[in-house]
Amino acid sequence: MPPRTFFQRDPESLAKALLGQHLVRVIANQRLVGRIVEVEAYLGVKDKAAHTYAGRRTPRNEAIWGPAGHAYVYFTYGMHHCMNVVAGDVDVPVAVLIRALEPVEGLDAMHAHRLKASRPIDLCSGPAKLCQAMSIDKNLNGADLVSGLSLTIEQTRARTLPARMIATGPRIGVDYADDWAQKPLRFWVKDNPHVSR
DNA sequence: CCCGTGATTTAT
DNA sequence: TAAATCACGGGG
């Protein structure tokens, strides 16, 4: 498990560092594990696509303003949850959205959580899909990924992915954000079939 | 392409 | 209080 200092950096750097690491969810002594293959960086008060744009601080997004290495889980569209990893320093509201995982452990349980998905490739290939597969909801909003037990990050043996294996492009679903919509703040593992869309 | 779905935010 | 919005997913 990485120390808190791993998370305490700018969100673009953390986004790339999270690729290849494992997101681990423990439920009733069972491990659900996914390799992080797609992420997006959200750059805080200046970022028109971010929930904290222009210094917005509300009950929902409070976790982003806190210390790095915690989860920010929010509910949207009346039915979906999405999970972020908080980056940066306290009072600097930056974070990384987890957009896709490659299932590694606990595939049966993930399937049970996602009845609509038939193939492994449909289990975690989207930010709300992976939350459903790993049973991540608002109960885990604010959870500490460094010291916690039920939701953590584990560093894989490879540690950091070489830059040549990382692809970059615009973030998804932020068309409302004008000039910020096109900035290359989405990162994924090149040629990995488990990324979204 | 379109629409479900309701918490959360923002405007009156 | 009321209206608008939405870092999505599934089905044509």
Band of pLDDT at residue A190, cut at 50, 70 and 90: very high
Strand B: which of residues 19-78 in chain A lie with Cβ below 7 A?
56, 58-61, 74-78
The CATH number linked to A139 is: 3.10.300.10
Task: For residue A30, give its domain range.
Answer: 4-189
| Domain assignment of residue A183, yes or no | yes
| Domain assignment of residue A195, yes or no | no
Strands (E), chain A: 22-27, 30-42, 71-76, 80-86, 95-105, 151-154, 166-169, 186-189
Q: Quick check: pTM over 0.95? A: yes
Contacts of A133 (CB under 8 A, 6+ apart): A32, A34, A101, A103, A110, A113, A114, A117, A123, A124
| Domain assignment of residue A197, yes or no | no
Q: What is the mean pLDDT of residues A74-99?
A: 98
Q: Is the CB of A139 under 7 A from strand B?
A: no
Q: Is the CB of A23 under 7 A from strand C?
A: no
pLDDT tens by residue, A17-72: 999 999 999 999 999 999 999 999 999 999 999 999 999 999 999 999 999 999 99
| Domain assignment of residue A194, yes or no | no
Name the domain count of chain A.
1
pLDDT tens by residue, A77-87: 999 999 999 99
Q: Are A134 and A110 in contact (CB under 8 A)?
A: yes
- pLDDT at position A15 is 98
pLDDT tens by residue, A141-186: 999 999 999 999 999 977 889 999 999 999 999 999 999 999 999 9
Separation between the CA of A131 and the C1’ of B6 (whole angstroms): 18
Strand C: which of residues 56-115 in chain A lie with Cβ below 7 A?
64, 72, 76-80, 82, 84, 95, 97, 114
| Domain assignment of residue A196, yes or no | no
| Domain assignment of residue A136, yes or no | yes
Residue A163's nearest CA partner among A179, A185, A187 is: A187
Q: Is the CB of A173 under 7 A from strand C?
A: yes
Q: What is the mean pLDDT of residues A119-145?
A: 98
pLDDT tens by residue, A98-126: 999 999 999 999 999 999 888 999 999 99
- pLDDT at position A158 is 76
